[in-house]
Amino acid sequence: MSSHFIPQDDNDTEEKGLEAEQEFRKFLDIIQVPYLPISNEIGKFSAALKALLNSKRPDVLLLLGKAGMLPVDVKYKSDERDFSSYLLDCTDIERYLNFSDAFGIDVWYAISNRQLMYATWYWLAINDVKRLKFRRKGTSRGECYVAPKKDLITVSAKLEKPLAGVLCRLAMPSSR
């Protein structure tokens, strides 16, 4: 049975997104991962990044020592009705793939929500959307990829090494 997408009010979505970013930074502090937040202010957005590359910028750069930096876009996403997947905007994915191609570094999504109390985060390298061949779905807000939770990396402060799955994936070769 297919799930039904329930559109949210744009202001509500933006507010939840900002809340998720704040909670993500708290989560990183708890698991002791250093990071650099990236400003969301419109006046501080690179015109070249937007115009020349048709790209988005991530919300945070994780500083992972010798493993390097990891750009992360934090997403507040409600579960689909059956609680087994999330919908990811196709246009956003394409814009982050442009970023990845231009700079040779994968952008990652970190997804959580209030129901998870921001204690668990589902992670996905943007390039994996194509590699894993996520199906597309039309919604009232446009085309989305359906990202099954089983294909995402679960990160929780309860894990002995919270980012182990992400770091393991970083070591794998990436292909678009």
Summarize the confidence of residues 22-34 as an average pLDDT: 95
Higher-pLDDT residue of 147 and 44 is 147
Do 44 and 101 contact (CB within 8 A), yes or no?
A: no
Summarize the confidence of residues 61-78 as an average pLDDT: 92
Is 81's pLDDT higher than 80?
no
Query: Which domains, and CATH codes, for the chain?
Result: 10-171 (3.40.1350.10)
Would you place residue 3 in the very low, low, confident or very high pLDDT band (cuts 50, 70, 90)? very low
Would you place residue 91 in the very low, low, confident or very high pLDDT band (cuts 50, 70, 90)? very high
Do 149 and 86 contact (CB within 8 A), yes or no?
A: yes
Summarize the confidence of residues 118-138 as an average pLDDT: 92
Predicted local distance difference test score (pLDDT) of residue 4: 35
Kind of pairing between the strands at 136-139 and 142-148: antiparallel
d(CA 167, CA 58): 18
pTM comes to 0.85
Summarize the confidence of residues 138-155 as an average pLDDT: 91
Predicted local distance difference test score (pLDDT) of residue 10: 45
Summarize the confidence of residues 150-175 as an average pLDDT: 83
Higher-pLDDT residue of 50 and 156 is 156
